[in-house]
């Protein structure tokens, strides 16, 4: 029996990235799609608790059962597992391919990775894929063989329990991809610039912009270094957020 | 000079929890408020990247400079640091008090904690506070002295760099709070139930419900155990999501 692969993303069901992902994984298993009906970039691990979730059957992918959902990427995974595929074993959740990188702290803001992490909480093997090119018509051709290899190996070896893989592909360039590197999350942050404007009625509003600051640009074991040096970066991501070394230091506060 | 304390939350600027938080921390420093203009429960670490952010000056808190913001809790922290308080040193960010607990995996879905984590990424000491009672008119009186003690100690000792504290208070009950426990994040998950309904036009929609499943109810070092046994639970939370032990196991895949 072929493995059951659930596909989702955060750029929405009509994005190019998800169609490339489906094109690759449908050669490896039975594909079922539940994806947001509109862009959910920067959605993080949001879930819909205070309002209703709406779904529609989608005919967008030939011969593949697909639903578009008004909820977030994490909602899509929950709805797939507990409603559409209730009682069936999902062998793998794949999310993406995101238009834009999700390395370093972007893993926290990423709807793509939050869908994968949501699956890992449920005990389902999961991988989030992102390309370091946020353009609508980004070129994904150079990543297909790497994506296929990672999915094949994940189905064969099993993603470690309660872990989601964060895969970041370099953007298409003149230089070929050098290979795949297992990395850790880069220590960095986004330095925001708020562009203050005034609307037609004199009221202030803002656009959030900014650039990424790498606190450790020389560290060759990090995901940003790998991506910038034309490797595919893979970081194993956990949902236990405890900073274990600090438990001891806080106990000394004698609260 | 008094410390500068930035206050935010995810239930919105009109909620009871944020007014209790302000009431306590204004005795310990100069308070500045940037909070969402509407409820943001379950917002996780979402940020507003594809649309505009709107703000309004609020007169809701007497003698305290406050702004309400159309963005997410994480947006509020970014906007405060990079716009309103640009160039000033923020000594502490406090977020909450959330109506509802944010222990175990709820830390991932929580807007309250994401605001605190956002601050920690920026290198600002930060604490998120939550009460295990989601009611609109929840009783916060029993937690004030513990909240004050935690903020005082944090200002004095310094929260460890790049760590946010996740503080969960037990709901008001007949039993007094026994004390404060430093904990780790409980291994658990939310088991969802989707309630499928039909709208007035025959279209399907869902409400997400569910209950929390504790995978380790006997572990006395976890935040859920502490909270359920009438302790205030504090977990130090980090934003490095790397599952370090799995780097070695993935390298064996020879990708």
Parallel, antiparallel, or unpaired: how do β-strands A188-198 and A4-8 relate?
unpaired
CB A236 to CB B251 under 8 A? no
- B48 to A244: CB separation less than 8 angstroms, yes or no: no
pLDDT at position A42 is 84
Over residues B148-174, the mean pLDDT reads 97
Q: What is the pLDDT of residues B185-236, one digit of tens each?
A: 999 999 988 999 999 999 999 999 989 999 999 999 999 999 999 999 999 9
What does the block give as tokens for A78? 């929950």
Residue B41 has pLDDT above 90, yes or no: no
Please write the tens of the pLDDT for every residue from A191-237. 988 999 999 999 999 999 989 999 999 999 999 999 999 999 999 99
Kindly provide the b/e burial profile for residues A206-230, where b requires at least 16 CB atoms within 10 angstroms of the residue's own CB: bebeeeeebeeeeeeebbbbbbbee
pLDDT at position A43 over 90: no
Structure tokens at A36: 């947001």
Residue B56's contacts (CB-CB under 8 Å, 6 or more residues apart) are: B37, B67, B68
On chain A, the residues whose CB falls within 8 A of the CB of B238 are 241-243, 246
Q: Whole-angstrom Cα distance, residue B90 to residue B95? A: 14
| Residues of chain A found within 8 Å of residue B204, distances taken between Cβ atoms | 54-55
**Which residues of B are annotated as part of the binding site?**
10-11, 41, 98
Q: What is the pLDDT of residue A41?
A: 84
Per-residue pLDDT, A49: 87
C-alpha closest to that of B115 among B81, B145, B143: B81
For the cut 90, the answer to whether the pLDDT of residue B132 exceeds it is yes
Residue B45 confidence (pLDDT): 87
Q: Give the best residue of A52, A246, A251 to mutate against chain B (max B CB count within 10 A).
A: A246
Closest CB from A47, A203, A250 relative to B234:
A250
pLDDT at B43 over 90: no
- Reported as a single tens digit per residue, the pLDDT across A63-88 is 999 999 999 999 999 999 999 999 99
CB contact under 8 A, B246 and A49: no
Q: pLDDT tens digits, residue range A119-166?
A: 999 999 999 999 999 999 999 999 999 999 999 999 999 999 999 999
Q: Dig out the tokens for A167 from the structure.
A: 């895969």
The mean of the pLDDT values for chain B is: 96
Query: Which residues of chain B lie closer than 8 angstroms to A250, CB-CB?
Result: 160, 165, 182, 234, 236
The whole-number pLDDT of residue A40 equals 85
A86 DSSP assignment: T
Q: Do A41 and B49 touch (CB under 8 A)?
A: yes
Nearest CB among B47, B163, B206 relative to A79 is that of B206
- 3-class DSSP state for residue A120? helix
Q: Do A46 and B46 touch (CB under 8 A)?
A: yes
Higher pLDDT, A255 or B34: B34
Is A30 a residue whose pLDDT tops 90? yes
Over residues A94-107, the pLDDT tens digits come to 999 999 999 999 99
How does pLDDT run across B44-63, given as a tens digit for each residue? 888 988 899 999 999 999 99
Residues of the binding site of A: 10-11, 41, 98
What pLDDT sits at residue B50?
85
Cβ–Cβ pairs < 8 A, chains A and B:
218
Residue A112 to residues A97, A125, A135, A164, Cα–Cα distance (Å): 8, 15, 16, 11
Question: Which residues in chain A touch residue B208, judged by CB atoms under 8 angstroms apart?
Answer: 47-49, 53, 75, 78
How many other CB atoms are there within 10 angstroms of residue A156's CB atom? 8
Of B43, B47, B121, the CB nearest to A189: B121
Flag if A108 and B239 touch (Cβ within 8 Å).
yes
Is the per-residue pLDDT at B112 higher than 90?
yes
Model pLDDT, residue A86: 94
> For the ranges A39-43, A224-228, B125-129, which has the lowest average pLDDT?
A39-43
Q: Which of A241, A247, A251, A252 to mutate to test the interface with B (most CBs of B within 10 A)?
A: A241
Phi and psi angles of residue B133, each rounded to the nearest 5 degrees, phi first: -160, 110
CATH number for the region A4-186+218-251 comes to: 3.40.1210.10
Q: What percent of chain B has pLDDT over 70?
A: 100
- Whether B107 sits inside 8 A of A241 (CB atoms) is yes
If you average pLDDT over residues B172-183, what whole number do you get?
Answer: 96
Q: Which residue has the tokens 């899509």?
A: A76
At A220 the pLDDT is 98
Q: Could you tell me the CA-to-CA distances from B53 to A45, B61, B166 in Å, in that order? A: 20, 22, 27
The binding site of B for a divalent metal cation consists of 10-11, 41, 98
Which sequence spans correspond to the domains of chain A? 4-186+218-251
Q: Binding site for a divalent metal cation: residue ranges of A?
A: 10-11, 41, 98
């Amino acid at each position: 029996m072929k493995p059951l692969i659930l596909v989702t993303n955060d750029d929405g069901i009509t994005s190019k990235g998800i169609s490339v992902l489906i094109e690759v994984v449908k050669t490896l298993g039975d594909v079922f799609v539940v994806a947001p009906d509109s862009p959910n970039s920067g959605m993080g691990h949001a879930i819909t608790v205070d309002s209703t979730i709406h779904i529609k059957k989608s005919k967008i992918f030939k011969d593949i059962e697909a639903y578009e959902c008004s909820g977030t990427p994490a909602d899509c995974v929950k709805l797939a597992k507990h409603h559409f595929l209730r009682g069936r074993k999902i062998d793998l959740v794949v999310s993406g391919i995101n238009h834009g990188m999700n390395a370093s702290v972007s893993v926290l803001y990423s709807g793509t990775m939050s869908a994968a992490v949501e699956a890992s909480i449920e005990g389902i093997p999961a991988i989030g894929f992102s390309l370091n090119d946020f353009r609508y018509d980004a070129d994904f051709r150079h990543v297909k063989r790497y994506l296929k290899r990672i999915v094949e190996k994940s189905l064969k070896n099993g993603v470690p329990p309660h872990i989601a893989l964060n895969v970041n592909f370099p953007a298409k360039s003149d230089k070929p991809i050098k290979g795949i590197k297992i990395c850790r999350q880069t220590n960095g942050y986004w330095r925001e610039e708020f562009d203050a404007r005034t609307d037609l009625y004199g009221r202030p509003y803002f656009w959030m912009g900014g650039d990424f600051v790498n606190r450790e640009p020389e560290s060759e074991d990090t995901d940003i270094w790998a991506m910038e040096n034309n490797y595919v970066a893979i970081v194993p991501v956990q949902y236990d957020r405890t900073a274990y070394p600090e438990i001891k230091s806080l106990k000394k506060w004698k609260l």
